């Protein structure tokens, strides 16, 4: 059976910091659309 856990508590401080930094980047509009990346790398 699947057991629910609070996975956030299992992350390191560095992992949490990276996630929070990424969320702030999204809020500030510092993102690159997936389609742009695909074109850049010929995907």
**Residue 25 maps to a domain:** yes
Which segments of the chain does DSSP mark as H helices, in order? 13-27, 34-40
**Residue 18 maps to a domain:** yes
CA end-to-end span of the chain: 39
**Residue 4 maps to a domain:** no
Residue 6's contacts (CB-CB under 8 Å, 6 or more residues apart) are none
Q: CA–CA separation, 12 vs 14, rounded Å?
A: 5
pLDDT value at residue 23:
97
pLDDT value at residue 2:
73
pLDDT value at residue 13:
98
**Residue 1 maps to a domain:** no
pTM metric for this prediction: 0.68
**Residue 23 maps to a domain:** yes
**Residue 2 maps to a domain:** no
- Tens-digit pLDDT profile for residues 2-37: 777 888 999 999 999 999 999 999 999 999 999 999
Domain around 14? 9-40
Q: CA–CA separation, 9 vs 4, rounded Å?
A: 12
Split into its structural domains, the chain has a count of: 1
Token look-up 């690159």 returns 32
């Amino acid at each position: 059976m699947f057991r629910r856990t609070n996975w956030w508590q299992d992350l390191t401080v560095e992992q949490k910091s990276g996630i929070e930094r990424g969320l702030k980047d999204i809020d500030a509009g510092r993102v690159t659309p997936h389609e742009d990346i695909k074109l850049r790398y010929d995907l």
